[in-house]
Amino acid sequence: MDFIGLLGFSLAVVVYVLLALLIIAARNPSLIAQAVLFCTLVTLSSNLVAALQIKLGYSLQWAMLADGFKIACWSLLIILFNTEHRDFKALMSNYTVRQYLGVWLLLMLGCWLASYWLDYAYKYIFLLFIVLNLWILVLLEQLYRNASRQVRWAIWPLVVALASVAIFDFVLYAQAAMVNGIDFNFWFSRGFLALFVAPLLLISIRRINNGEVRIFVSRHVVFYSSMLMIAGAYLLLMSFTGYVINYLGGQWGDLVSIGFLMLSGIVLVALLITESLRRRVKVFIAKNFFANKYEYRDEWLNLIEKIETASGESHYQMATHIMMSKVDASRGAIIKKFTNQQYQIQYSDGLEINEEIEKQLLEVGLFCHQKGWIVDVNEYENSPLLYPELTLDVALCRSNKIQIIVPIFIGKAFYGLFLLADENELKGLNWEDRDLLFAISKQLGNFISLYEATDKLSESKQFDAFNRMSAFLVHDLKNVQAQLALITSNAEKHRNNPEFIDDVFETVESATQRLEKVLSQLRKKQIEQSSHSQTALAIIVKKVVSQCNQSLPRIEFEQQGSCVTYIDSESFQSVMHHLIQNAQEATTKDGWIKVSLIEKKRTIRIIIADNGCGMSEEFIKSRLFRPFDSTKGNAGMGIGVFEAKQFFENMAGIIKVASTPKQGTVFTIDLPLKLAGAISGQDLL
């Protein structure tokens, strides 16, 4: 028997030497050709070590060690078919290759150390080779099932050759693990098997001209390969348990082992055919190991484009049509939740929602809110247990052609539902379809929420604009009232003074003009645009100072230059009156206020200074220029300084404030000497 084994391994060595020479003679410089040559040399060495073991009688572990290297090399060659590396250095930098080599090395070292240090002899080595041969079978299955027809023609001899050796070794080591010893009838046959598969290897090597074998990995193939790995791992566990039973069972060990093996086989078959397990494994593999069914970048760009180009459609209509397009539905609707007992249709395209449907949607909405799931009516009809706690009237949905119900969430808040319907049966939803629909639903929910917020903001702005207009009008009325009150308060003292009478008529005329302006704005429901003209600022400031000097403290005015520029004279008079009046109100009757008008080369500077109560830096930063924030309580509107700032900035000017509490305040305003169409002081001459 030893002679037959020695003959088989020796012939295999000779054949693989010839095979290696043929590969070298082909002078193919590609990485995959060099890898095939290396695998051939390792296979040659493995058969040589096995032949020498029979001849010299050294430990069988050396032959097994060489066999382990052979399996590792052929496994790496199969992995190499799925890479684009052009040199050995790049190959070894591949994470998958390094990971495989690391795991292989750890398994080899662990099993050999266990064999030497523990009293389990070769048992761990046998288990190791069962795993390694099962692994190479999985790789071969993926390689062949995922290859195109042309690639299959090139690699099928290689697959048959390696699979034959792997299956033979798997049976050999599985039997050895069961009886705790090698069957040498099998072992001596390995040389002849290596001899018989060598021509198949040569055929594949000649067909793969330059090693450019690119394999597309299929989800279904790897799913079944994964099931093969699960089955292998499960059988290994059952075998190990069987050994324990056999070891502890004594005379009954064989009977118990057979019974347990039958039971484990039944359980394994049940697991493999259980739909829930298959679904979970399939989804897990698809999510973690494969390219997605959808190109999400394109889906995202298409969604953005549809949102941006949806002219003439309401946002509800646009969102519904986008969801319909994703499942090729011809009908659809969007309903919004207002209360737990009330939903309202926001838009419907060819889908009528009656009272029965509304009642059904209340329950579906509660389920979707709690679970966050998409409801597929067809799937519910076939597998209602997949939707726990949901009672769905399938006949009602069928009669209304409703097939898919997608929840809408804005953040974590439940907004409503998309209803998708069609005359024909829509395609079933897998996990990726659901993920896509849910992601689009959330994005459309945010889009709808934004539009609803925009609508509310638009309404709020309309009210705000009306309120602002009212506030400014009231402010103007308050100034008119202040002027008329000033006449009344001074009437007793200056009733017989002709100059006072002239001022009264002038003030009444100004008040009349203001009131006419207010009435005009109320009729038009908007504030009139200001009209600019060339204006001598000194005249207006003098007039304002004269009006304000009727109250204490008195105001000093100084002027340097003509100070003529292009401005809205009426608005300028109003804001100056307010700023000076504010200074008077902040200053005691025995204090002082100075107003300066200074013309420079390119600007006109206005300075309003007082020694009043002053303001803190924090107040100036946070409150002074804020509208509707008044320190005068109900007596003030809080828009005077804000209006002044807006006015001067619209004139391309700058207003600055410097103040110290209990010491006083200085307002500094810089206006350009000329604006568009302005006329300098020299042009007036």
What is the mean pLDDT of the segment spanning 118-125?
63
Q: Where are the alpha helices (DSSP H) in 27-148?
A: 31-56, 60-80, 88-92, 95-117, 123-145
Q: Is 263 exposed, middle or buried (0-12, 13-18, 19+ CB in 10 A)?
A: exposed
Instruction: Identify which of 83, 87, 82, 52 has the alpha carbon closest to the alpha carbon of residue 66.
Output: 52
What is the mean pLDDT of the segment spanning 490-512?
75
Q: What angle do the packed helices 219-249 and 253-273 form, to 10 degrees?
A: 160
Is it true that 2-217 and 304-448 share their CATH fold? Answer: no
Q: Is 169 exposed, middle or buried (0-12, 13-18, 19+ CB in 10 A)?
A: buried
Is the pLDDT reported for residue 252 higher than 60? no
Q: What is the per-residue pLDDT across 441-460, written as a single tens digit (0 to 9) for each?
A: 888 888 888 888 877 777 66
CA pair distance 194, 299, nearest whole angstrom: 52
How many CB atoms lie under 10 A from the CB of residue 451? 15
CA pair distance 133, 141, nearest whole angstrom: 12
Query: Which range, 285-289, 480-484, 615-619, is most confident?
Result: 615-619
pLDDT on residue 451? 81
Mean of all residue pLDDT scores within the chain? 75
More confident residue, 152 or 558: 558
pLDDT on residue 550? 78
Inter-residue contact 380 to 404 (CB < 8 Å): no
Question: What is the 8-class DSSP label of residue 590?
Answer: T
How many CB atoms lie under 10 A from the CB of residue 434? 15
What is the mean pLDDT of the segment spanning 313-325?
83
253: tokens are 């060990």
C-alpha radius of gyration, the chain, whole number: 46
Q: What is the per-residue pLDDT across 222-251, written as a single tens digit (0 to 9) for each?
A: 444 554 555 555 555 655 655 555 555 544
Q: Give me the percent of the chain exceeding a pLDDT of 90.
A: 7
Which superfamily, per CATH, for 2-217?
A: Rhodopsin 7-helix transmembrane proteins (1.20.1070.10)
Output b/e per residue, 51-75; b: 16+ Cβ within 10 A. Answer: bbbbeeeeebeebbbbbbbbbbbbb
Query: Which range, 59-68, 154-163, 234-243, 663-672, is most confident?
Result: 663-672
Inter-residue contact 223 to 36 (CB < 8 Å): no
CA pair distance 224, 148, nearest whole angstrom: 18
pLDDT band, residue 666 (cuts 50/70/90): very high
DSSP codes of every residue in 149-203: HHHHHHHHHHHHHHHHHHHHHHHHHHHHHHHTS--HHHHHHHHHHHHHHHHHHHH
488: tokens are 């009344």
Is the peptide bond preceding residue 199 cis, with omega within 30 degrees of 0? no
- Say which range, 225-229, 565-569, 616-620, 670-674, has the weakest mean pLDDT: 225-229
Inter-residue contact 555 to 548 (CB < 8 Å): yes
CA pair distance 121, 346, nearest whole angstrom: 76
Which superfamily, per CATH, for 529-684?
A: Histidine kinase-like ATPase, C-terminal domain (3.30.565.10)
pLDDT on residue 633? 41
Is the pLDDT reported for residue 608 higher than 90? yes
CA pair distance 263, 255, nearest whole angstrom: 12
DSSP codes of every residue in 312-338: TS-HHHHHHHHHHHHHT-SEEEEEEEE
CA pair distance 385, 379, nearest whole angstrom: 10
416: tokens are 């409503």
The sign of the dihedral angle between the CA atoms of 220, 221, 226, 228 is positive
More confident residue, 23 or 477: 23
Q: Is 674 exposed, middle or buried (0-12, 13-18, 19+ CB in 10 A)?
A: middle
pLDDT band, residue 324 (cuts 50/70/90): confident
CA pair distance 593, 584, nearest whole angstrom: 7
pLDDT on residue 219? 44
Is the pLDDT reported for residue 12 higher than 50? yes
pLDDT on residue 611? 93
pLDDT on residue 606? 94
261: tokens are 């093996």
Domain residue extents for the chain: 2-217, 219-291, 304-448, 529-684
The reported pTM is 0.39
278: tokens are 């298959």
More confident residue, 221 or 242: 242
Inter-residue contact 595 to 537 (CB < 8 Å): no
pLDDT on residue 637? 46
CA pair distance 297, 302, nearest whole angstrom: 9
How many CB atoms lie under 10 A from the CB of residue 602? 9
Q: DSSP 3-state assignment of 641?
A: helix
CA pair distance 305, 363, nearest whole angstrom: 35
Q: DSSP 3-state assignment of 435?
A: helix
Q: What is the per-residue pLDDT across 565-596, written as a single tens digit (0 to 9) for each?
A: 888 888 888 889 889 988 998 899 899 999 99
Q: What angle do the packed helices 569-586 and 537-548 form, to 10 degrees?
A: 40
Is the pLDDT reported for residue 106 higher than 80? no
pLDDT band, residue 636 (cuts 50/70/90): very low
Which superfamily, per CATH, for 304-448?
A: GAF domain (3.30.450.40)
Which element (helix H / strand E) includes 406? strand 402-410
Is the pLDDT reported for residue 494 higher than 80? no
Side-by-side strand order, sheet with 375-376? 342-349, 331-339, 413-421, 402-410, 375-376
